[in-house]
Amino acid sequence: MQYRAVAGPLGSLIAPPYDVITDADRAALLAASPYNAVRLELPDPPFEDVAALMAAWERDGILTRADRAGITAWTQTFTLDGVTRERRTLLGTVTLEPYEARVVRPHERTHAGPKEGRLRLYRAVKTHISPVFGLYPDPEGAVWAAAGVTGAPDAEFTSDGGDVINRVWWIDDPARLAGVTEAMREKWILIADGHHRYETALNYQREVREANGGATGPWDAVLMGVSALDDPGLVVLPTHRVLARWPQDGASRLASRPVAHLDALLAELAAAPDEVPTMGLVTPDGIRLLHLEGNPGDTPAARLDVAVLEREVLIPDLGEDQAALSHHGVLTYVKDAREAAGLVASGQAAAVFILRPIPKASVAAVSEAGETMPQKSTYFFPKLLTGVALHPLTDA
């Protein structure tokens, strides 16, 4: 399902995923267009009103179902640290697979609350509104090549405050679709973003099958954008940890030394060996570089900076893991290191941990080992957007 041209420019219709939309973001998106996808992605309850709104949009020709199967080729061009990159994604439906099959693999832990909310929305609207983001191994680039993306895009728009140029092509040629399917046939997919959405899709599928004698249908697939792990435009950024309370002698289990200022800390983190768990700590007393001495662990997940932070600092010093600290309002997340450090300087935070990005190879290794990371261990930039395509869970 897609927006028709009568709805307006696609750039006024798209929205970020629900879990990164602030109140100010939502107000701006609502002002951009009466048809903006935020009205579906992050609606006011009751969710039954969203179902009625979608039905009205489809009846009025704002949304339309494609006449035949297809996928969307999507490039996102952006500049980061002075380097211009382009990430290539194919957006379509992917057959739902249980994690045990190892065809679709998680890399982060999930929590019940977000899945309960998404499931209520799915039940009401019977549509996947926001795509999951997945990664697949493809050093040769065979999948994207099979899509045969050429010519001018069908739509072009900016996002992320104008920092990202998005271009999309609709592909419904049967030969090209067959080529993509064949190129993907033996590949596994690692969920990069959208674990809650994927697991909610599995729960919805289970409900529908139980209610319909095991019948198959559109509920057996999930809306997903997939990019190659080897895509040079694939970027993993860190998410820094902001703490509302902090003990005076915290982080004593890690080796520590003072650093003069934030720029020096960022340079030290960039130069630190990947195999040595390393992070920065900002408190009102100053900035320190921390690292673990000795064996960081026997598994890929145990050796991650974020896992060492949880195991050697947060649980011993604050008494809970990251999920519990977040639930209790002690731990929040910030993507920009300067913004995070500024929260300490302004007195809005007791301490901040500045983290390094997790290497793509480490993300894959954790998944290959069948392990998961703490929530919000990775931030794949830029986000896939809501509104480029939707996946109806009914035939009509």
* pLDDT value of residue 67: 86
CA 2 centroid distance within chain: 21
20-53 pLDDT, tens digit each: 899 999 999 999 999 999 999 998 888 889 999 9
249-262 pLDDT, tens digit each: 999 999 999 999 99
Average pLDDT, the chain: 93
Residues in CB range of 148: below 8 A, 6 or more apart: 171, 173, 176, 179
325-378 pLDDT, tens digit each: 998 999 999 999 999 999 999 999 999 999 999 988 888 888 888 888 888 888
149-196 pLDDT, tens digit each: 999 999 999 999 899 999 999 999 999 999 999 999 999 999 999 998
Q: In CATH, what class is 239-356?
A: alpha beta
396 pLDDT band, cuts 50/70/90, is low
* Chain length of the chain: 396
CA 340 centroid distance within chain: 20
* pLDDT value of residue 365: 87
Distance, in Å, from the CA atom of 226 to the CA atom of 239, rounded to the nearest integer, reads 22
Which string of DSSP letters, residue by residue, matches 116-157?
HHHHHHHHHH-EE-S-EEEEE--TT-HHHHHHT--SS-SEEE
Domains of the chain: which residue ranges? Answer: 2-235+382-392, 239-356
Whether 282 shows a pLDDT value over 80: the answer reads yes
Residue with tokens 């209610």: 211
The residue among 393, 395, 334 whose CA lies nearest residue 124 is 393
**297 and 307 in contact (C-beta within 8 Å)?**
yes
Distance, in Å, from the CA atom of 32 to the CA atom of 47, rounded to the nearest integer, reads 22
Q: What is the pTM of this model?
A: 0.90
